[in-house]
Chain A
């Protein structure tokens, strides 16, 4: 299993505010992913540090991702949609520079659309265009010299376009809607924002089974084993997210998710981005809980294994004893002569071992001393 954890943005505790300094701090904290926030417009003077960050991530095992514009109105009027797309264009360009594995986008309000296939079809068209644009920005191998500064252009796949679930009823982005659009557009990936899913589902993510159900649904509908998630605490009411909180203060706990990942997540390649108000603190909190869940699971497995070994050994001992008795009848005679009771005990043991061996219950050979019949 591959699990990558990191904050959404430069860590709060980072003294410098550049992305590269942020990456250094994240690595020191034992984390290995980051989502660059281009929540407002991408400034051209940032491009130099984006490229430096891209080089650093390329040369290390550090996963870079990028979040698109803060305001999105892809289902709005033509003017609103174009404004959103032009902001998205800047983040696509920056995504290439930073070697982003995922570019995360919101869709925004339903606008004039009703929730349903019409809105989804509109978005399928829009995101097909976005994926094409990302791939054309990424470049082609024939123009190798032109892209020599970006080795990842040739050796890595273009960024995947992530479509994020929303946490409010008036915003497009239920899990079903996101999966439907992702299913129809190659190059897109669902971004499972657990805080949003939890809020929109009236606090539905409570147990590890809830996570199992969610990931099974995504696997069945969308397929694949790569997942990109956001996690934060959230205050919610009436199916709407009200405010992000630190994980400890929310009813959305990370422990069940960690438990699910530890127990059943072997097949997954998952990146979890902390977008809580306590960015890197909560990312580390998640890492600690995941480690604890792994540790607990290993302990349980070791205990089970010890139990099985003990059972097997006792079974083998009994079998050895039985075979010894068969090979050396004098020992039985001796026991018989020493008294009827020991013989009965041996016979009970024998029948018990047989029962264990066949793994079936048997009453035929048992003799109960107290049985009046």
Chain B
């Protein structure tokens, strides 16, 4: 079920309705095709309840009135807050709302999934990454697209895998992960160690991530559960026991 909420919370409409295994709140540009919106689309298909928070139709997203978003009410009893790194670069209002959503996520117990993608303006990658680092403690799953991981590793002068490990150990982010669409390999650094898993078929990254989130237990992140979640996209109809 996707419920689209504008910032005045006066309109909401259901796009689709299936089972409600897990719930996602996605903050983004109304017409965005960013990584976060792709993940929510896939999540919707596999039965997630999705709330999209964005600006009013008569507002400019970069300057919308973010003060009236009741994050506390929106995030109450929701499993995941899903946001893209590029949203922070879209203006002052999105940047503030992006930060506020994570604070209220922390307060309400909603876990934050940050998808790090490349910005349109490549020169802004350093600014974007700096903003993420400042909020690193509010992030529970930090996912890098292949291109973003390459760029940020270069920026940090380190290798891809080492970057993931360093973020995990210094930022104490519970799960730092990436998925390479070309090789179908996912690399996940998690509280119980690390996992590199090659899937038998190729999937787009948003499909892998949506299934990964769906397959994750919210309480216990042991090795077998991480492995199960990482391969969920291939066998997502098989229940974990």
Interface residues in chain A, defined as those with a beta carbon under 8 Å from any beta carbon in chain B = 9, 12, 15, 37, 39-40, 70-71, 83, 106, 109, 167-168, 170-171, 232, 234, 237, 241-246, 249, 275-278, 281
Contacts and interface: CB of A to CB of B under 8 A. Distances in A.
Interface stretch (B2-10, B165-173, B177-185, B226-234): B165-173
Nearest to A109: B169
B157 A83 contact: yes
B137 A275 contact: yes
Contacts of B100: 12
A258 to B, nearest CB: 22
Contacts of B156: 71
B134 A237 contact: no
B172 A243 contact: yes
Contact of A278 (B106, B126, B129): B106
Ranked nearest first, the 10 interchain pairs of A and B with the lowest CB-CB distance are A277-B137, A244-B137, A277-B138, A277-B106, A242-B191, A243-B172, A243-B174, A39-B133, A40-B130, A71-B166
B107 interface: yes
A243 B173 contact: yes
B191 A168 contact: no
Contacts of A171: 169
B20 interface: no
A270 B144 CA distance: 40
Query: Which of A40, A167, A241, A275 counts the most B-chain CB atoms under 10 A from its CB?
Result: A40
Contacts of A242: 172, 174, 191
Interface in B90-143: 96, 99-100, 102-103, 106-107, 109, 126, 129-130, 133-134, 137-138, 140
Contacts of B138: 277
A74 to B, nearest CB: 13
Given A106-B170, A170-B169, A244-B172, A37 B134 contact: yes
B169 A276 contact: no
A245 B173 CA distance: 11
Given A71-B156, A237-B191, A242-B191, A276 B137 contact: yes
